[in-house]
Chains A and B, each alone.
Chain A
Amino acid sequence: MLAWLTDPFASPIVQRALVELLILSLACGPLGVWVLLYRDAYAAESISHGMLPGLVVAALAGAPLLLGAVGGVLVAAAGIALVARDRRLGADVGVAVCVSALLGLGAMLALSPASPPRLQELLFGDLLGVSGGDLAVAGALAGGVLLALLAGHRSLALVGFDRGAAPSLGARPLRWELALLSILAVTTVAAVQGLGNLLLVALVLAPATAALTLARRLPIALALSVALAALAGAAGLVLSYHLEVAAGASVALCAVAIALLALVIPAGRLSHVHPAD
């Protein structure tokens, strides 16, 4: 049994993949908790998918991915604002229409036979192809995300808990709402190499969903989310090794499985411990 768990990690390729996932867990875990608390899950999914064409164009042009991400987000935001201006449609339709179109466009560019092969990684990632250099970049970006979240912790909590009173308590809501979305964009860039644009959202949202279901205090929820994201990463690699399935997809499915377990198990156990008033 123990060998079944440790065998996959004998190979340096899987070891690097594990390090990559542990690094990403440090950023995605706490970020996901904030995204859910800000009720930004839809925006999170939309932003990371909407920026795909930007990432692909940047990769094709040999520009830094972060630049492509920023450009992609701006184009997506402009498109959403434009569609949402039609009163018959509204913001949700605007997001859905623009993001689907941009995702389709990005996928078309990335999967076109003329594009270099590494571009497909932007969609599904390539955990087992992660190099030492990739690890360094992901580590720098994830470290930046983690530091930003720690530095902004109190202000994010003020705005998330009580937007109306936040200014009088010392935090400007709009500034921190935008900050969170910017941090999300950076996280997307950090995680796109390993997990791909389509799967990284699972590592952001699923462990956080489980953590918020299980934890009653914010610091515990944030730490638990990191731990569960790391667990999903390790479990996903083990399963992918033994079942011979794609590593990224396996990690995403493990993360979602953890969220489902957390949602199902405590429902009966906690309902009488925390009665509604």
Chain B
Amino acid sequence: MDTGTAMLLMLVLMLAIYLGFVLISKVPSTLHTPLMSELNAISGITLLGAIETTGGSGNSSITYILGVIAIACAAFNVVGGYLVTDRMFKMFTKKGAK
């Protein structure tokens, strides 16, 4: 990795951490469980990395199999995380809003 790329990625990291703190501290404690599961779903973004390495060049059969497992794990996170969060949000209702 050249220094330019590294610095640019560090900049992204820094801004994202800052933004994350600002936004997440505004989430009410009532929603902490779905907040956690939605962010878990977002963490399934590793899926992109898993797809890139599995579909890329130079794979041996071992890296290929490991890649498929990684895709399955990440896909579980994405699908399971978003769906269960959606299920929870549907339960949060205000009086008379039904």
Say whether A and B bind each other.
Answer: no
